[in-house]
Structures are given as structure tokens and as C-alpha cells.
């Protein structure tokens, strides 16, 4: 036993003493034989440029000694290995022996074209990184091309615009950059081995920034690095002897430019909000270097005061704005000391990554520092709690080398203090230790080949060792087959399986990819029985027809035969206008054919459209706003397509909306929660039709439904509600539902029918008294009723009673012991500032943000002035922590439309004060609509700049801004549309591979087409047809994912602005399998959205954002 322990003790001692540790590696090829002369580049610290380059000997070996980095999970960094013709690879290094197996290499390829779709020769294309498919959970498995090896992975396109780069692992994704000074820098993801047509880079002329960098005395500064930073793009340059720099390949829109002194001894404030235009050169003010100021300190353990080495720190401030990214990371030295040179002003220091065994800082350190000043900023880190225990089987016997994961409950896990998932690895005796846990509830889940049986959750701290019971996971195999309609097997078909894993607490998705064999068969193994599977196919020259549904059979998964049809036929024809004249340049496509194949009519209007199936198809043509289509066209036949202006948008039509919603209602039998919201769509416009939908077979309507209809009608149309609601209210039996409806109705009619409002108040007050007496322990309900009565009391002039109800709510709230119930406080705060402000001030930062956000959203309609006070606090709070954000932006979007007409200057002040990272573009866009024309245009410029720097929803935001700007200044509107299209084009490869949906399930396609349809409905129609077909086929008829559901439904919905009949037709052909899987069914979502559009006036359609068309209002 001592022999076994000795090496471990030696290693532990050597790590604690920071001695150099021997690192050995062996590089072998796919056949397991040593690879001689392989280049090995070791990068120990990802935040530093320092690297070590070695080469393998005749036995494929390399070795070195490394001093471990303290307080990091990757103490020895990574080794990137290159040995052509094998694939580039990166591995994490561990003490002792490391085996690195290289795979055979394949290539990535693509095409560079200009905006007119012409090939570009000699375009410089570079490989930036590769990653396995599915993407790894461990980011260290991402292989980044070292800067020293750039030339090995840089090529130029040929005369046909095509390029290829080898050295890529099969079944991987490659990050490919257009890195040519003539064009804007852009990066796309390309799948290894895919055809060149799947990776088209549309090159656009880049913008250029020039200027000078000088010292304080005015002398030029040479060899200073200048960087241009924008979300998703960047550029860098070095100053010449005269201090000049030339920063090329930049995208249009707002950008931040900063300078970096390699020595770290001088700084300069960055220059932000530089608005660039494609192909133009912008000269900016000189950067004047200064010594700036110093922030320094020691990072220590809060309990022992022991210094902590290796802690990564970053600083946002004038020299390094959070908006720009471009983080400079420093680590504490062996004594725990750090030093940051900054520009004068407000600087915010934060720990860049979670430190093992320690909790995140509760808030960042703010320092407002002056020129030449040195500021001491010590940082104390709190060590997390530890759990120890044993992994056992069902019989209680220890299980060796088992794993499980622990995740902090979402109610305790917040952006700023986000706790990463932790993993426990049991030793040979089944014993494990997990360090760095926060107080609270932790969920235990399966890992590797083990399933957690019990416990599924624990509350930390524990007072005894924890026994975790596991069992070996039961793993199933999925089998399937791909055939033609004639039952012939298809080999080489790419099968993509989306695997959704629910561990009892959270949902995680991954992707598995395989190819069919010579018999058309495919197999995917090691699947847990509880996963949800959806399949997609991809094979050039074929379209999906049917099949792919996955079922469980005989302890395994079986996929229904997937049927594909070859695209070997063509359609010829002619495109003419309404006078029969040819329309040269018209684009022609078929939603039933190859997705990216379009024909262009020649001078005589003639076209040949290839790659369509040998069956009847639909053909669509468009040119400069005119659209034509033909249905039921047989392949290998000629057809004439007449282009004409589209029909005007359909007028508001309540009856048609009802007819559509009635079908949705009938089709949602058994989907209780989803179904209940359908009649509410009509409540504000046609309450009688809403009741008609909601009536049961016996003619009755549930009181809960009646209450919602009355409440929504009251908020939207008080005058109608005052007449319509009372008789329906008297028919209700459920006292709680009556109370809710009475409050909403009373608030709405207080000004136009005070007697009715007073009567409703008295009845609601009587119900509250009786119910409180009978259920005094139901604290939450007591508070909610007190708040509601306070609102109505104040509205009818009973101010003293209103204050009494608030006091009652506060008193009851103070007796609540469960701190997770603090969200209830937002209801009280929405109606009263004075009695709740002190309570809110005492909350921890993250809970305070949550309460403030909800208080604004719930109180905006009732008392905008109180809501504004809370919003100002929320904005100030978020500005103190740039790692989190979003709450203020979301809350502001509720308040701005309510006060915008009466206080346009105020809403502009709100929008401009929203932190940069989240929703600034949204709030500026909203505020612009309440400004005079000249101010509105300037604000939309600001909004476009903010949107172009957003990490998400960039396309949709830019498209909306463009549409609003077009009404004020058509030329600028078109410029912003070009920015939106550029952002959308940059994700073409991802969309082609079914990976286009963003974090909210939308890649911007629908919004872009919807807004641009006001300018060119033909171009938008073709775009929607193409992308609808792409998503429909990538789903292969199976819909088990929320993001993909939203994407395909949104595309169908956007068509309503161009052709409502086609929009409804699209909604019906959205695949319906998986409807009851817990996600919103996309077919029904689209139909409901179309009905909402039908209820809007033309002005409302232009004012409201895409697919935000509900007339319902959920807050009084």
C-alpha cells in the first residue's frame, strides 16, 4: 500500500511546492505506430502568449519539465501536435506519460464569392480552429491553430474562387476565416469533408481605420499593437516608426479601437462607437499614451489569509471597455500579488474564471482612480464547502472509479456568481471528494457510464459523509435504414441524431453523426433509454420524403425507414411580366427541389431549373418586388411564370382570425396549459368569439377562462369591458376567479364608471376578509390579494385603505421564512416604493436584481413613476457588475412603450443608460419611435451600432432598425438592411448544416424577410421559401427540440406579410410528430401567430416587432 501511495504523495508535495514536474508524451498514428518528427507546441497558460516547441524522437517521444500553474484545473496546459499528412490535434497534458493519437487527415473546402455571386481569386483563407462533432463539453478539446503555424494553414482561392485546407480531423467542424486585407474579416464554420458549395464566403469590402499613436510628449510610438474589436469580428495592426497604423478588414457598423503596449507600462483610453462604412477609410483621433494609474493588491484566502497564486484577473475600464471584448488577463504571482496598469477613471476588476475550490466573488471590485495614482485593492476569496462520501451500488457495496455530477439549483445560481457544474471521481475504494460548493440545493446527475439512483438532490452543507447510490447505465443502440421510394438502399447518407438528455433537473442536447453503409443502414450506440432522439438526413442530389420517427423496441431504438427521392429532373420555362414581356434576371426556385439551387432568367426570360424531383412541384419566381408562382408542375416540362406585384397585405379580419384559432383549439385537445391561452388571443378584440371558442359541449365556460377573458378585455378596452364584463362576471361561481376578474375590471373602469369600480372593490374586499380568516397560513395568497386591493383602493380614491393593504402585505412578507419566496416582494414593490425600498436594499445583489426587474414589469402599467424609480436602481446595480446583465433591458422594454408618448426625453434617457451587453439595441429602437424625426434617426444610428455588437439576435434587431430607419431615411435604411444581410450571410454554413438557430431558437431569417418584405417582397419570398425548405428537411419530420420548433414556425409566420394563404399553407405542412413532447408545437404556434397578425391594424403591424403581435396584457 505504501508503494502505491508514495508516487501520489510525491506528486502532491511537488505541486504544493511548485517544483517542475516531468511531462512526457508519445505521439502515434492511426495504426498505433510512433510518429517521428511531429511538431509539438505546448501552451501552458491560455492567457499568455508564451509557448514551448518540441519535436518527437525516433520513438515518437517528447519530454519537458513544467512548473504547474496554481489554482487552475489545467495545471500543465495543452499540447498541439502537427505531423502532416496526419490531422492537427490538441490534448490536455497531465503529469507523467501522455499518449497522443493522431487521426488521418481530411480537408475542408469552400468558395469565396463577391456580392454579385462571382468567384474571387487569390482571396486569403485561414484555418483558425477545429472541434469535434458533437462539440466537446471540455473547451480544451478545441484545437486552435497556433499563431506560429498560421502559414501552414493559410491558402489562397483559385480562379474559380475555390479553396481547400487539409490537416482536419474527419467529422469535425473547422473555423475558417477570410483574412484578406481587401475584405471584411469574417469567420464561418465548415464541416470537414463537405462539398465546397456548403461553405460559401461572401466577401465584402472591409472598412479601414487609420490614425496615430503618440507618447505624452507628442513623439510617435512605434511597435504598439492596435486592435479593432467588435462582436464576432476583429482586426489588429502594429504602429510604424512614425506612429501611424492601418487597421483593415473591419466590418461596417460600430467598433471599438484600443491600443496595447507589449511591455504593459503605458496605456491609453480606448475609442468606442466608431461608425464604419463598407469600403471607406475612417481617420480617428490620436491615441496619447500615458503611464496611467496602477491597481495592485494581493489575492488571499479569506479564512487563512494565505496568498493565492495563479488567479486570473481582468479589468474593464476606459482602456478596455467591456463592450469591445479583447480581454487582457493577468495571473497573480506566487505571493498572490497582481498589478494592473489602467487608464484613469472607473475600472472594474473581476476574477476571469472560477478558481478550483473557491466561490466566485459576490461582486466585482470597483476602483475610480486618477492619473498617476496607485490604488491598493486586496481581494479575498472564500473557499467553498466540501462534500465527501462513497459511491455504492444498490447492495451498498463501494463502486470503484464511478462518476457523477453536481449542479447548483438555478434559484441560487446567478450570472455574476455563476457556479459551474462540478464532477466527482471515485477512487478504487469508491471514495470521493468534491470541493468548492456553495450553500444551497445541489442536484446530482449521471456522468459517464453511471446513473445516479439516489439521492437526486442534497442541501449543502451536510453533517455526515454522503453515500451516492449508482448503477451501471443501461445503454441502447439506435438502428435505421435509408432507402429510395423503390426500396433501394442508399449508401453514404449523412445521418444527424439530435440527442436530448434530461437528467431530472436540466436538459442537455448533443449531436451524433454517422453515415449509412452499403446496405443503407446506420447504427448509433451508447444511448440512454431516457433520451429523446430526432433524426435529420443530408445527401446532395436527394430530398427527404418520409420516415425517421424513432420508437423503442426490444430494449433498443428503431428508426422508421427514411425515404429519400433523387433530384435528377429539371424544369424549363420563361418568366414574363403582366404584359407578356420577358423579365431577365428573375430568380427561379422550387421549394421541392435542391435547396440552394436557383435559376436566373436570361435576356429572353428563359430559365432552366435543375435538381428537382420527378414529380409535380411548386415553382416560385421573383424580381424587384414582383412575384409569380406555378403549382403542380411536372418535371422535364416547360412553364411560363408571370410576375406581378404582390397583393396588398390582408386587412384586419377578426372573423378569419377566429376561424383559424377555432381550428387550433380543436387540434389541441389534451394540451391543457397550451390550450388555455388560445381564446385569450381574441379577448381584447372579440370577447364573444373568445367565449365561443372556450365553451364546452354543455355551453359552459370555465371560470378561470372567463376571468382571463374579462381581465384582458378590461386592460385593452375599458369602455367595452364596462358593458360586457358585469353580466358575465355574475355568471361565475369560483370566488377566486371572480376576485381576480373584479380587480382587473375595477382598475380599468375606475375613471369611466366609478360606481362600478367601487362595487367591485367592496365585493373583492369582502372575499379577501373571509378567505384570510379561513386560510391564514396561505401567506402568498394573502399578500397577492392585499396588493391587488391596494391598487384598486388607490384607483378609486381610498388612499388610506391602499396604504393599509400595503402595510398588511409587508407585515405578512416579513414572516415568510423561505428565502426563495423573495420574488413575492416584487408584487408589493410594484405598488409602493417607500415601504419596500429598505427591504430590497438589504437583499443580496442577484436577488435584488430579480426583484427590481419584476417590480418594474408588474408596476409599469399601474404606476410608471414607481416603476421608473425601481428601473433607475436596477440600471445602476447592473452597471456595477459587467459580468451580468439583461434584467434592466428587459424591464425597460415594458416601461418605455407606456411612458414614451408623454415623456419622449425620459425614455431616451432610459434607453441610453441600459448597459451595453444586453438589450441596448432593443431599448434604443423602442425609444426612437417616440422621438421627432431628426432625433429618431440619430437614435436608430445608435441602435444599429449597439445591435452590430450584440452576441445574439443581431440579424433580427438590425432588420427591425432598418425598417424603421427606411421610413425616415431610405438610404440609411438600406445601409442597415445590408448590415443585417451581412450578419445573416455569415451564418450560411451553420444553417446549411442545421446549426443556425441562436440561443433563443431563431437565427434571424424570419425577421429579416418580414421587415425587408416592405421593400422587396419578391426577395423576401424567395428567402423564406428556401429556408423553410431547409429547416423542414433538416428536421426530417421529427420535432423534439424547442429551438428548431421556433425556427421553422417563425419562418412560416413571416410569410404572412407577403402572402397569407402561403403562410397558412406552410403552417399546415410543418411536421407534426413530437407535438406532445412538452415543447410548443410549431404548426399551432405559427397558426396562432397568423391569427394575431390578422387582428392588428396596419399601423400596429408597422409599430410592433415581428411576432410580438398579441393584444393581451398580462399586468394590471
Contact 639, 656 (CB under 8 A): no
| Cis, peptide link before residue 455, omega less than 30° from 0 | yes
* 193 and 273 part of one domain: no
pLDDT at 1113: 60
Strand partners, 389: 432, 466
We report the CATH number of the domain holding residue 368 as 2.60.40.10
pLDDT at 1039: 45
* 304 and 258 part of one domain: no
We report the CATH number of the domain holding residue 245 as 2.60.40.1120
Report CA dihedral (1091, 1097, 1098, 1103) to the nearest 10 degrees. -90
Report CA dihedral (392, 396, 397, 403) to the nearest 10 degrees. -10
Specify the length of the chain in residues: 1116
- Tell me, yes or no, whether 338 lies in a domain: yes
Contact 27, 90 (CB under 8 A): no
Rounded Cα gap, residues 1008 and 1094, in angstroms: 20
- Tell me, yes or no, whether 543 lies in a domain: yes
Q: If phi over 0 gives left and psi between -120 and 50 gives alpha, with beta otherwise, what is residue 554?
A: left
* 113 and 191 part of one domain: yes
pLDDT at 12: 36
DSSP assignment of 716-766 equals: H-HHHHHHHHHHHHHT---HHHHHHHHHHHHHHHTTT-HHHHHHHHHHHHH
- The C-alpha cell at 814 is 416579513
* 46 and 93 part of one domain: yes
Contact 681, 705 (CB under 8 A): no
- Tell me, yes or no, whether 298 lies in a domain: yes
Domain end (from 101, 124, 141)? 101
Rounded Cα gap, residues 606 and 629, in angstroms: 15
- Tell me, yes or no, whether 1067 lies in a domain: no
Helices (runs of H) and strands (runs of E) counted in the chain: 28, 55
Q: How far is CA 120 from the centre of its chain?
A: 33
Rounded Cα gap, residues 900 and 1045, in angstroms: 34
Alpha carbon of 31 to those of 27, 34, 35, 323, 662: distances in Å? 11, 9, 10, 48, 64
Domain end (from 357, 381, 405)? 381
| Cis, peptide link before residue 884, omega less than 30° from 0 | no
* 194 and 110 part of one domain: yes
Contact 226, 239 (CB under 8 A): yes
How many domains does the chain fold into? 7
* 274 and 300 part of one domain: no
* 118 and 197 part of one domain: yes
Close Cβ partners of 15 (under 8 Å, ≥ 6 residues apart) = 21, 68, 75
- Tell me, yes or no, whether 791 lies in a domain: no
Counting beta carbons within 10 angstroms of the beta carbon of residue 64, is it exposed (0 to 12), middle (13 to 18) or buried (19 or more)? middle
What is the SS3 string spanning 458-520?
EEECCCCCEEEEEEECCCEEEEEEEEECCCCECCCCEEEEEEEEECCCCEEEEEEEEECCCCC
pLDDT at 2: 32
Give the structural domain span for 629. Answer: 569-642
We report the CATH number of the domain holding residue 544 as 2.60.130.10
* 500 and 551 part of one domain: yes
The angle subtended at Cα 64 by Cα 58 and Cα 70, nearest 5°, is 150
Domain end (from 288, 312, 332)? 288
* 282 and 249 part of one domain: yes
pLDDT at 13: 35
pLDDT at 995: 57
Rounded Cα gap, residues 649 and 18, in angstroms: 72
Buried b (16+ CB within 10 A) or exposed e, 858-884: bbbbbbbebbbbbbbbbbebbbebbbb
The helix or strand, by DSSP H or E, that contains position 1033, with its residue range, turns out to be helix 1017-1035
* 516 and 562 part of one domain: yes
pLDDT at 544: 87
* 85 and 49 part of one domain: yes
Counting beta carbons within 10 angstroms of the beta carbon of residue 492, is it exposed (0 to 12), middle (13 to 18) or buried (19 or more)? exposed
* 258 and 311 part of one domain: no
What is the SS3 string spanning 115-156?
CCCCECCCCEEEEEEEEECCCCCCHHHCEECCHHHHHHHEEE
324-331 CB contacts, 8 Å cutoff, 24+ apart:
324/229, 324/230, 324/256, 324/258, 324/270, 324/272, 325/229, 325/231, 325/234, 326/227, 326/229, 326/234, 326/256, 326/258, 327/352, 328/260, 329/47, 330/47, 331/45, 331/47, 331/48, 331/69
- Tell me, yes or no, whether 484 lies in a domain: yes
Please report how the helices 1017-1035 and 1005-1012 are oriented relative to each other, as an axis angle in degrees rounded to 10: 160
Average pLDDT per 10 consecutive residues for the chain, totaling 1116 residues: 34 47 95 96 88 96 92 86 95 93 94 90 96 59 89 96 94 90 87 83 91 95 89 79 94 86 86 86 95 95 95 90 68 95 92 89 88 95 95 94 89 69 93 93 87 92 94 92 95 86 67 90 92 83 88 92 94 96 96 90 96 93 95 89 92 93 84 78 92 91 94 94 95 94 96 96 91 74 94 95 94 78 86 92 84 94 95 88 76 96 96 84 96 97 88 89 97 93 78 56 87 96 93 58 68 95 92 53 87 93 90 63
DSSP assignment of 643-710 equals: -BPPPPPPPP-HHHHHHHHHHHHHTTTT-HHHHHTTTHHHHTT-HHHHHHHH--TTS---HHHHHHHH
- Tell me, yes or no, whether 217 lies in a domain: yes
pLDDT at 540: 82
Rounded Cα gap, residues 523 and 506, in angstroms: 27
- Tell me, yes or no, whether 77 lies in a domain: yes
Q: What is the largest CA-CA distance in the chain?
A: 97
pLDDT at 1112: 65
Amino acid at each position: 500500500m505504501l508503494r502505491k501511495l508514495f508516487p501520489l504523495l510525491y506528486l502532491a508535495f511537488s505541486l504544493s511546492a511548485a517544483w517542475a514536474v516531468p511531462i512526457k508524451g508519445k505521439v502515434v498514428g492511426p495504426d498505433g505506430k510512433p510518429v517521428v518528427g511531429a511538431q509539438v507546441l505546448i501552451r501552458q497558460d491560455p492567457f499568455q502568449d508564451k509557448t514551448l516547441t518540441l519535436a518527437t524522437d525516433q520513438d515518437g517521444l517528447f519530454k519537458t519539465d513544467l512548473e504547474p500553474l496554481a489554482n487552475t484545473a489545467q495545471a500543465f496546459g495543452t499540447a498541439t501536435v502537427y505531423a502532416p499528412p496526419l490531422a492537427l490535434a490538441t490534448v490536455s497534458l497531465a503529469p507523467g506519460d501522455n499518449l497522443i493519437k493522431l487521426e488521418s487527415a481530411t480537408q475542408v473546402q469552400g468558395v469565396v464569392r463577391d456580392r454579385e455571386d462571382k468567384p474571387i481569386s487569390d482571396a486569403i483563407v485561414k484555418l483558425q480552429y477545429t472541434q469535434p462533432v458533437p462539440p466537446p463539453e471540455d473547451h480544451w478539446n478545441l484545437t486552435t491553430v497556433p499563431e506560429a503555424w498560421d502559414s501552414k494553414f493559410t491558402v489562397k482561392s483559385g480562379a474559380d474562387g475555390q479553396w481547400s485546407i487539409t490537416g482536419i480531423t474527419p467529422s469535425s467542424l473547422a473555423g475558417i476565416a477570410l483574412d484578406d486585407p481587401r475584405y471584411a474579416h469574417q469567420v464561418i464554420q465548415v464541416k470537414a469533408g463537405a462539398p465546397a458549395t456548403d461553405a460559401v464566403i461572401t466577401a465584402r469590402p472591409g472598412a479601414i481605420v487609420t490614425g496615430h499613436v503618440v507618447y505624452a510628449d507628442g513623439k510617435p510610438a512605434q511597435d504598439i499593437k492596435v486592435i479593432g474589436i467588435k462582436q464576432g469580428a476583429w482586426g489588429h495592426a502594429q504602429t510604424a516608426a512614425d506612429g501611424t497604423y492601418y487597421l483593415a478588414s473591419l466590418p461596417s457598423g460600430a467598433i471599438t479601437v484600443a491600443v496595447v503596449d507589449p511591455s504593459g507600462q503605458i496605456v491609453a483610453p480606448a475609442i468606442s462607437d466608431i461608425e464604419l462604412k463598407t469600403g471607406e477609410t475612417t481617420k480617428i483621433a490620436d491615441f496619447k499614451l500615458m503611464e496611467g494609474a496602477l491597481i495592485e493588491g494581493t489575492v488571499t484566502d479569506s479564512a487563512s489569509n494565505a496568498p493565492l497564486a495563479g488567479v486570473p484577473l481582468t479589468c474593464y475600464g476606459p482602456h478596455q471597455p467591456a463592450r469591445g471584448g479583447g480581454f487582457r488577463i493577468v495571473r497573480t504571482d506566487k505571493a498572490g500579488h497582481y498589478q494592473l496598469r489602467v487608464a484613469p477613471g472607473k475600472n472594474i476588476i473581476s476574477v476571469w474564471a472560477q478558481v478550483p475550490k473557491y466561490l466566485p466573488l459576490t461582486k466585482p471590485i470597483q476602483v475610480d482612480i486618477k492619473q498617476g495614482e496607485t490604488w491598493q485593492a486586496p481581494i479575498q476569496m472564500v473557499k467553498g464547502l466540501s462534500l465527501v462520501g462513497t459511491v455504492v451500488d444498490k447492495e451498498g457495496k463501494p463502486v470503484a472509479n464511478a462518476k457523477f455530477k453536481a449542479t447548483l439549483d438555478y434559484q441560487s445560481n446567478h450570472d455574476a456568481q455563476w457556479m459551474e457544474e462540478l464532477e466527482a471521481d471515485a477512487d478504487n475504494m469508491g471514495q470521493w471528494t468534491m470541493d468548492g460548493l456553495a450553500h444551497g440545493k445541489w442536484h446530482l446527475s449521471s456522468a459517464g457510464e453511471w446513473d445516479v439512483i439516489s439521492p437526486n438532490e442534497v442541501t449543502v452543507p451536510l453533517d455526515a459523509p454522503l453515500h451516492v447510490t449508482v448503477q451501471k447505465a443501461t445503454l441502447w443502440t439506435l438502428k435505421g435504414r435509408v432507402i429510395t421510394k423503390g426500396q433501394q438502399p442508399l449508401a453514404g447518407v449523412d445521418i444527424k441524431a439530435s440527442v436530448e438528455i434530461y437528467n431530472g433537473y436540466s436538459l442537455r442536447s448533443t449531436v451524433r453523426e454517422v453515415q449509412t453503409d452499403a446496405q443503407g443502414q446506420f447504427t448509433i450506440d451508447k444511448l440512454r433509454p431516457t433520451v429523446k432522439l430526432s433524426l435529420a438526413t443530408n445527401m446532395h442530389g436527394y430530398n427527404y420524403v418520409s420516415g425517421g420517427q424513432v420508437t423503442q423496441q426490444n430494449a433498443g431504438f428503431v428508426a422508421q425507414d427514411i425515404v429519400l427521392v433523387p433530384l435528377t429532373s429539371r424544369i424549363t420555362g420563361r418568366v414574363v411580366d403582366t404584359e407578356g414581356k420577358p423579365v431577365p434576371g428573375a430568380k427561379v426556385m422550387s421549394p421541392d427541389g435542391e435547396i440552394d439551387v436557383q435559376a436566373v432568367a436570361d435576356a429572353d426570360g428563359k430559365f432552366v431549373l435543375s435538381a428537382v424531383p420527378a414529380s409535380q412541384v411548386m415553382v416560385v419566381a421573383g424580381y424587384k418586388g414582383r412575384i409569380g408562382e406555378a403549382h403542380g408542375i411536372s418535371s422535364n416540362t416547360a412553364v411560363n411564370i408571370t410576375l406581378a406585384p404582390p397583393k396588398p397585405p390582408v386587412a384586419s379580419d377578426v372573423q378569419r382570425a377566429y376561424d383559424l384559432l377555432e381550428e387550433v383549439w380543436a387540434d389541441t385537445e389534451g394540451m391543457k396549459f397550451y390550450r388555455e391561452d388560445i381564446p385569450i388571443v381574441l379577448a381584447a378584440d372579440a370577447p364573444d368569439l373568445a367565449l365561443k371558442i372556450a365553451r364546452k359541449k354543455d355551453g359552459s365556460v370555465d371560470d378561470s377562462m372567463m376571468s382571463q377573458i374579462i381581465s384582458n378585455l378590461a386592460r385593452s378596452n375599458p369602455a367595452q369591458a364596462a358593458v360586457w364584463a358585469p353580466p358575465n362576471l355574475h355568471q361565475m361561481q369560483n370566488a377566486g376567479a371572480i376576485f381576480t376578474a373584479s380587480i382587473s375590471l375595477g382598475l380599468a373602469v375606475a375613471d369611466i364608471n366609478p360606481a362600478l369600480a367601487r362595487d367591485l372593490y367592496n365585493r373583492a374586499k369582502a372575499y379577501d376578509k373571509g378567505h384570510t380568516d379561513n386560510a391564514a397560513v396561505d401567506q402568498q395568497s394573502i399578500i397577492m390579494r392585499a396588493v391587488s386591493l391596494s391598487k384598486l383602493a388607490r384607483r378609486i380614491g381610498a388612499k388610506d385603505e391602499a396604504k393599509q393593504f400595503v402595510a398588511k402585505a409587508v407585515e405578512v412578507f416579513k414572516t415568510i421564512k423561505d428565502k426563495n419566496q423573495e420574488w413575492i416582494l416584487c408584487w408589493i414593490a410594484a405598488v409602493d416604493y417607500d415601504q419596500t425600498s429598505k427591504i430590497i436594499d438589504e437583499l443580496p445583489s442577484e436577488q435584488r436584481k430579480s426583484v427590481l426587474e419584476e417590480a418594474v414589469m408588474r408596476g409599469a402599467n399601474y404606476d410608471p413613476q414607481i416603476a421608473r424609480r425601481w428601473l433607475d436602481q436596477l440600471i445602476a446595480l447592473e452597471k456595477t457588475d459587467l459580468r451580468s446583465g439583461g434584467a434592466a433591458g428587459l424591464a425597460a422594454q415594458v416601461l418605455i412603450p407606456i411612458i414614451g408618448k408623454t415623456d419622449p426625453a425620459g425614455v431616451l434617457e432610459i434607453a441610453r443608460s441600459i448597459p451595453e451587453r444586453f438589450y441596448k439595441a432593443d431599448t434604443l429602437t423602442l425609444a426612437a419611435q417616440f422621438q421627432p424625426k431628426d432625433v429618431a434617426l440619430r437614435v436608430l444610428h445608435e441602435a444599429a451600432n449597439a445591435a452590430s455588437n450584440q452576441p445574439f439576435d443581431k440579424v433580427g434587431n438590425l432588420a427591425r432598425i432598418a425598417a424603421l430607419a427606411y421610413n425616415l431615411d431610405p438610404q440609411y435604411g438600406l445601409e442597415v438592411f445590408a448590415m443585417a444581410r451581412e450578419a445573416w450571410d455569415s451564418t450560411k454554413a451553420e444553417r446549411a448544416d442545421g446549426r443556425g438557430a441562436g440561443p433563443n431558437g431563431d437565427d434571424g431569417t424570419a425577421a429579416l424577410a418580414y421587415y425587408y418584405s416592405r421593400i422587396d417582397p419578391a426577395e423576401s419570398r424567395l428567402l423564406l421559401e428556401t429556408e423553410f425548405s431547409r429547416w423542414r428537411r433538416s428536421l426530417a419530420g421529427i420535432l423534439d427540440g424547442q429551438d428548431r420548433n421556433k425556427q421553422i414556425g417563425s419562418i412560416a409566420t413571416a410569410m404572412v406579410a407577403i402572402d397569407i394563404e402561403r403562410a397558412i399553407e406552410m403552417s399546415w405542412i410543418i411536421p407534426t410528430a413530437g407535438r406532445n413532447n412538452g415543447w410548443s408545437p410549431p404548426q399551432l404556434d405559427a397558426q396562432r401567430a397568423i391569427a394575431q397578425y390578422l387582428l392588428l391594424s396596419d399601423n400596429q403591424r408597422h409599430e410592433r416587432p415581428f411576432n410580438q403581435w398579441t393584444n393581451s396584457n398580462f399586468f394590471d
